[in-house]
Structure 1
Amino acid sequence: MVNLKITSTKTGDFMDYGFIRVAAAVPGLRVADCAYNAEKIIELIARAYEKESQIVVFPELCISAYTCGDLFHQEMLLEECLTQLERIISETRDKNIVSIVGLPIRADSQIFNCAAVILKGEILGIVPKAYIPGYSEFYEERWFAPGSKALTSSIRLLGRQAAFGTDLLFRDENDGGICFGIEICEDLWVPVPPSSYQAVCGASILFNLSASNEVIGKYEYRRQLVRQQSARCFAGYVYTSAGIYESTTDVVFGGHALISEYGTILSESERFCDEDQLICAEIDVQRLLNDRCKNTSFMELQQKPDYRFIDFKLRDLDLERLERAVDALPFVPSSPEKRDERCSEIFSIQTSGLAKRYRHTAAQYAVIGISGGLDSTLALLVTVKTFDMLGLPRKNIIAVTMPGFGTTNATYNNSIELMDTMGVGIREVDIRPACLQHFKDIGHDAEILDITYENVQARERTQILMDMANKIGGLVIGTGDLSELALGWCTYNGDHMSMYAVNCSIPKTLVKFLVLWAAENVVDERTSNVLRKVLDTPISPELLPPDKSGEIKQKTEDIVGPYELHDFFLYHMMRYGAPPLKILFLAEQAFGNSYRPEVIKKWLKVFYKRFFSQQFKRSCLPDGPKVGTISLSPRGDWRMPSDACAEVWLRQLD
């Protein structure tokens, strides 16, 4: 696992949290003018160094330019490329940054299209291109030999002995998790790219020096290749290609550069730009290695070639802010189009899962408690859609409102109006008399508004729903969501229990958008108006009496903390195994304008304490559909001992 390089737990001291800052450059080159090109490369290396990049990659054959044609057979060009490589090495020796540059190199009586890896005046290694295209507009076979034709594993270059071959991987001497491999242009386009083997053998970051020209449709396909290869390899993929000034004769280049991490584009250049470009981003190596460790299929590819590892010392990265964006709502797509698509798909997963349960049990009725809040509203929407799909009458959905000691007029009216507009069966059961009787039975003073006072109400409601379902031969549809399960914000054997829990893997931040999406896309105008009222209602269990004005007094987020923070914590802990200090750092990046650092840390401690102490509730959850990458089902994604200690995690935040 990558070393997080944390030397202090105090914010501001040196730490990189497992990030590597990389850069991809697109210089404006002149074809065959190696001295001019070297000057551009040196300038961009300096710019990347100033931006605290640790590794920078340049396009294919950037010292000569890609489109030199038969000039590659000219001694003058080959020698000038070496002269300018020496100049680049010399003029950047004072900069602690790994630079990957492209040039033609003669070896074994052949010419190879190569990437030279240089650092502080030294050549770490030379990687030749593995696959040489000889089709359509590409004539590289006329000039270059594939890497497999190399006869030697090292070459004498500029008075130095340098490792040479397609079997080189470059590894940080202090942290083996930081390892990169190199492929060149066409290598990515073959059925099994070299980077696939490099990743299996330890490369967490993959670099591609390219000269991909522009034709209609190629841009999007190339972009998908980079995204998909980074996803398949659980890796960062850094790609850069020749710019417009290398366009000549029949081909035009656009200068396309991309930085991708596990299928997500972190940064992208502007194509057809007439200025030099440098894009930078941090790649989260820690999260990539965590995913590799969890994915049991990753290491199944055993038929792999042996690699030689070249060790080097990576420049330290002292992070204050990230170049990459950190999404404050990681469960919710930021694009409205993608958000609508996500909501539609989740709604389909929920209804399909519930429909299967009804087909299997041959049940004809559903019983669901309606509180006037977000979760029960979403559960009712899903149940109605399911019954419509199965051809069952909506009146077979018995929606029950159960006013208690904390019920306000606003939520009560929301409940009644929602049930009415949805055309379901409506029942009302006032739980207050039964709760008072129960207080009397167990000897509890009804004036003491403690946990017993609250949980008696939750369990009474669940008892009513369960018994009513038994009476009519129906299923109790659970309403609780993923965020509540993570925090244990549910009453054991109360709202914690149901016969099928349709919201169990949907976090609170996403529930809001699902209800809004339904208001805009699924229901009629009258129901839509009710849904918007629900969205405007504060989140509350309504187990304590309202305030003097009849408004909700018990607001969940005042007690356990903001759900947007807890969902953020949950996502990064569960999805990537991020430790507390890293989550704190990321949260400060995402919420810096909304919460002070000490407030974020306060709620992060609350999150860990509740997450660990409340596992026993998650260990006996009812069935429910998994809709995203994170689920707390004890039968699927999360198998945690109920009595595990949180001390190791909390100690890092002290």
Structure 2
Amino acid sequence: MRDGFIKVAAATPYIKVADCEYNSRQIRNLIEEVDNHSVKVLVLPELCLTGYTCGELFLQDVLLNGAMAELKHIVDFTKGRKLFVTLGLPVLKNGKLFNVAAAIYNGKLLGLVPKKNLPGYSEFYEPRHFNPGQEEITKFSFYGETVPFGMNLLFHCLDFEQLTIGIEICEDLWVPLPPSVNHCLAGATLILNPSASDETTGKDIYRRELIRMQSAKLVCGYIYAASGEGESSTDLVFGAHNLIGENGILLKESPRFVNEMTVTELDMGKLISERRRMTTYHAEENRDYLYIDFSFGADVTAAETEITRYIDKAPFVPGKREDRDRRCEEIINIQAYGLKKRLEHTGLKTCVLAISGGLDSTLALLVVCKAFDLLSLDRKGIITVTMPCFGTTDRTYNNAVALARELSVSFLEIPIRDAVNLHFRDIGHDANLHDVIYENVQARERTQIIMDLSNKYNGLVIGTGDMSELALGWATYNGDHMSMYGVNSSVPKTLVRYLVGYFAQITENTALREVLTDILDTPVSPELLPPKDGEISQKTEELVGPYELHDFFLYYVLRYGYSPSKIFRLASLAFLEDYSEETILKWLKNFYRRFFSQQFKRSCLPDGPKVGSVAVSPRGDLRMPSDASAALWMKELELITLAPIA
């Protein structure tokens, strides 16, 4: 469970209606199977010990006694197993029958949770046999032991503090105020739902969204286990539709109409991090609840859970084409409407921006064009400036010229070589020494020019730098770091590429599409060092590391506050086929060094619109002191042991 991961399962046993002994054997077989796969939480369906479709047989003592006897067999069978099991059965208490979920761990019945909301509409008639459960905790006698009985039971793991389990049953989820709401506000981080939802046309879509959104709203893990083959088909068919959700994401689901086990890992650390971040999430202990402790043991909680769930190597970029296109359109609108408002407020009808033929300035220019179109302004009011110097190549220069032409914007070419050489003489710098001074003088000269041009044309200077560069501090302070409005300031580098690609995809201008495609194929570079044989000699990703790695690191550092070791572990899985662990660790160390040391640049960023869940603006998501120490993070990175090379 190291790093907050716990392996969980939802399973549907093959059953025979009213045959408790047979069903018990099937359940024990499943318990043994999941235990062999290191599963720590198992959810089985509603009333699976008897079958959900017993009808009037629920009024027979033989069935009820048989279910209770087999529950004892199952409880005893879990002795010595570090596995939390929830399954459904009918329970007779004080002459009343309840639809109950039993919580079992290590040879002990921890509690019985009754179902509150009993459907009596359409094909359902549960109130005919069962009574609604109550929140109040009472006592139930189970083979000489006293067991708590009631809805307000939460099961807390002493040695895995992130895990507190609450239970609701089937229809409880489908009502306006599910019990899981109060469970989570009382501290539950994982909701288990034994269910017997039957299949009708389209119901799976609603069920899937219901579970996904409940896990999102409650910031919890949600495990839903449904009845399947074996239930009576007199009037209904049950699809064994098992689902596991986590904070709005459906991690895994089973195919319908196939009884099987669905296994994945929940990241409980992510859930706790998200709740910690959301100050409007008021979860706290509730005196109306009974908290029942259990323990997996230090050896189990310290062990590393094998991760089989999908780890997206590009968390900022949707995987599906249609989702990605929709996201691109949305982000471009956010950028353009933010700039539109700034232009309306200032009354300016001119923008000035430096274009290099690179990705970032291309995206910025495309966004400015859209904002001008929204305002019905003449694109000639967009003053683009290319300022060739020592590192400019023909490829980027020609692309900058072609881009301005195809977008019908104003274009200026101002070579800065002479001005930079004069400045070198003024400050006594050797122009043959290609150091940080050599590079930054060029960047600041370009910024000085576009700032002065903004005065000349009464325009707004548009920043082109992206969020990945800002996170790494890969910007010249008061050079490309500075502008009057930074349209790309919360767009990560990996997403910049897709946004430019989206423009290339939707434009009807063939020539524009061609230049955008070539820009996409050009290596990322500030072009501050002289080219070699006419080709770019200064490739950013060779100096600071691959942006796909840095964006991955950035997402988990800022979005969830993960530790360096956990981020390294996830990155090693996500990029298994792309980078060695040694390479990932090298660039992760570089990320943390730069992220901490370069905060002073982010502390004085120009305005710019937030477009996603992560941003680095000091007025928004990242209020971080400029002189914070990275020592604790670097110390943890030094303790990471690399796997031996085979």
Same-fold call, TM cutoff 0.5:
yes
- Tell me, which stretches of 5 or more residues in structure 1 are unaligned? 1-14
Number of the residue aligned with 2:39: 53
**Structure-2 separation of matches of 1:203 and 1:234:** 10
**Structure-2 separation of matches of 1:585 and 1:113:** 43
Task: Tell me the CA shift for residue 95 of structure 1.
Answer: 2.3
Matches within 5 A, 1:239-278: 239-273=224-258, 276-278=259-261
1:347 aligns with 2:332: yes
8 A contact 1:402–1:428 mirrored in 2: yes
Seen in structure 2, the aligned counterparts of structure 1 residues 626 and 149 have a Cα distance that, compared at 3 Å, is closer
Number of the residue aligned with 1:306: 288
**Structure-1 separation of matches of 2:612 and 2:156:** 34
Task: Tell me the CA shift for residue 216 of structure 1.
Answer: 2.0
* Equivalent residue for 1:279, pick from 243, 262, 275: 262
8 A contact 1:482–1:508 mirrored in 2: yes
* Equivalent residue for 1:493, pick from 478, 500, 511: 478
Number of the residue aligned with 1:609: 593
Matches within 5 A, 1:33-182: 33-148=19-134, 153-182=138-167
Task: Tell me the CA shift for residue 93 of structure 1.
Answer: 2.0
**Structure-1 separation of matches of 2:445 and 2:31:** 68
8 A contact 1:21–1:54 mirrored in 2: yes
8 A contact 2:6–2:305 mirrored in 1: no
Number of the residue aligned with 2:387: 402
**Structure-2 separation of matches of 1:211 and 1:606:** 52
Task: Tell me the CA shift for residue 528 of structure 1.
Answer: 0.8
Deviations 1:415-465 (A, max 9, x none): 111111111111101011110111111111111111010000000111111
Number of the residue aligned with 1:554: 538
**Structure-2 separation of matches of 1:355 and 1:149:** 54
**Structure-1 separation of matches of 2:427 and 2:442:** 14
8 A contact 1:25–1:278 mirrored in 2: yes
Task: Tell me the CA shift for residue 523 of structure 1.
Answer: 5.1
Task: Tell me the CA shift for residue 39 of structure 1.
Answer: 1.5
**Structure-1 separation of matches of 2:384 and 2:174:** 56
After the TM superposition, which of the residue ranges 448-457 and 249-258 deviates more from structure 2?
Answer: 249-258
1:358 aligns with 2:343: yes
Task: Tell me the CA shift for residue 41 of structure 1.
Answer: 1.0
Number of the residue aligned with 2:643: none
After the TM superposition, which of the residue ranges 73-82 and 140-149 deviates more from structure 2?
Answer: 140-149
Number of the residue aligned with 1:4: none
* Equivalent residue for 1:586, pick from 570, 584, 604: 570
Task: Tell me the CA shift for residue 301 of structure 1.
Answer: 9.3
1:296 aligns with 2:282: no
Counterpart residue type for residue 557 of structure 2: M
1:212 aligns with 2:220: no
Seen in structure 2, the aligned counterparts of structure 1 residues 646 and 341 have a Cα distance that, compared at 3 Å, is same
Task: Tell me the CA shift for residue 551 of structure 1.
Answer: 0.6
Indicate the SS of the match to 2:468: helix
8 A contact 2:135–2:150 mirrored in 1: no
**Structure-2 separation of matches of 1:108 and 1:345:** 58
Counterpart residue type for residue 260 of structure 2: Q
Seen in structure 2, the aligned counterparts of structure 1 residues 526 and 301 have a Cα distance that, compared at 3 Å, is farther
Counterpart residue type for residue 546 of structure 1: P
* Equivalent residue for 1:188, pick from 149, 173, 181: 173
8 A contact 2:135–2:151 mirrored in 1: no
**Structure-1 separation of matches of 2:288 and 2:423:** 72
Task: Tell me the CA shift for residue 567 of structure 1.
Answer: 0.4
8 A contact 1:177–1:202 mirrored in 2: no
Counterpart residue type for residue 339 of structure 2: L
Task: Tell me the CA shift for residue 320 of structure 1.
Answer: 6.0
**Structure-2 separation of matches of 1:415 and 1:65:** 70
TM-score (normalizing by structure 2): 0.96
8 A contact 1:321–1:589 mirrored in 2: no
Number of the residue aligned with 1:648: 632
8 A contact 1:197–1:305 mirrored in 2: no
Task: Tell me the CA shift for residue 222 of structure 1.
Answer: 1.0
Task: Tell me the CA shift for residue 592 of structure 1.
Answer: 1.1
* Equivalent residue for 1:570, pick from 554, 564, 568: 554
Indicate the SS of the match to 1:463: helix
Task: Tell me the CA shift for residue 121 of structure 1.
Answer: 1.2
Deviations 1:499-536 (A, max 9, x none): 11111001001111111111101452211111110010
Task: Tell me the CA shift for residue 586 of structure 1.
Answer: 0.4
Task: Tell me the CA shift for residue 132 of structure 1.
Answer: 1.4
Indicate the SS of the match to 1:260: strand
Counterpart residue type for residue 573 of structure 1: V
Q: Point out 4+ residue stretches in structure 1 off by more than 4 angstroms.
A: none
CA RMSD of aligned residues (A): 1.4
**Structure-2 separation of matches of 1:300 and 1:230:** 15
Counterpart residue type for residue 582 of structure 1: K
Matches within 5 A, 1:434-453: 434-453=419-438
Counterpart residue type for residue 541 of structure 2: E
Number of the residue aligned with 1:5: none
Task: Tell me the CA shift for residue 635 of structure 1.
Answer: 0.4
Matches within 5 A, 1:620-639: 620-639=604-623
Seen in structure 2, the aligned counterparts of structure 1 residues 526 and 65 have a Cα distance that, compared at 3 Å, is same
8 A contact 2:186–2:284 mirrored in 1: no
Deviations 1:558-578 (A, max 9, x none): 000010110000000111110
**Structure-1 separation of matches of 2:193 and 2:43:** 8
Counterpart residue type for residue 438 of structure 1: H
8 A contact 1:82–1:158 mirrored in 2: no
**Structure-2 separation of matches of 1:408 and 1:196:** 60
Task: Tell me the CA shift for residue 130 of structure 1.
Answer: 1.7
- Tell me, which stretches of 5 or more residues in structure 2 are unaligned? 639-646
Deviations 1:114-165 (A, max 9, x none): 1111112111111111211111111111111111287x61211133221111
Matches within 5 A, 1:316-355: 316=300, 318-319=303-304, 321-355=306-340
After the TM superposition, which of the residue ranges 111-120 and 85-94 deviates more from structure 2?
Answer: 85-94
**Structure-2 separation of matches of 1:524 and 1:160:** 78
Task: Tell me the CA shift for residue 62 of structure 1.
Answer: 0.6
Task: Tell me the CA shift for residue 247 of structure 1.
Answer: 4.3
1:29 aligns with 2:15: yes
Indicate the SS of the match to 1:246: coil
**Structure-2 separation of matches of 1:175 and 1:520:** 49
Deviations 1:253-291 (A, max 9, x none): 111111110000111000012xx3111111111111111
After the TM superposition, which of the residue ranges 221-230 and 306-315 deviates more from structure 2?
Answer: 306-315
8 A contact 1:588–1:597 mirrored in 2: yes
Task: Tell me the CA shift for residue 300 of structure 1.
Answer: 7.8
Indicate the SS of the match to 1:252: coil
Figure out how many residues of one structure are paired with residues of the other and give that number.
635
Seen in structure 2, the aligned counterparts of structure 1 residues 523 and 431 have a Cα distance that, compared at 3 Å, is farther
Task: Tell me the CA shift for residue 94 of structure 1.
Answer: 3.4
Seen in structure 2, the aligned counterparts of structure 1 residues 31 and 320 have a Cα distance that, compared at 3 Å, is closer
The share of aligned pairs that are identical, in percent, is 53
**Structure-1 separation of matches of 2:413 and 2:29:** 74
**Structure-1 separation of matches of 2:478 and 2:135:** 69
TM-score (normalizing by structure 1): 0.95
1:203 aligns with 2:185: no
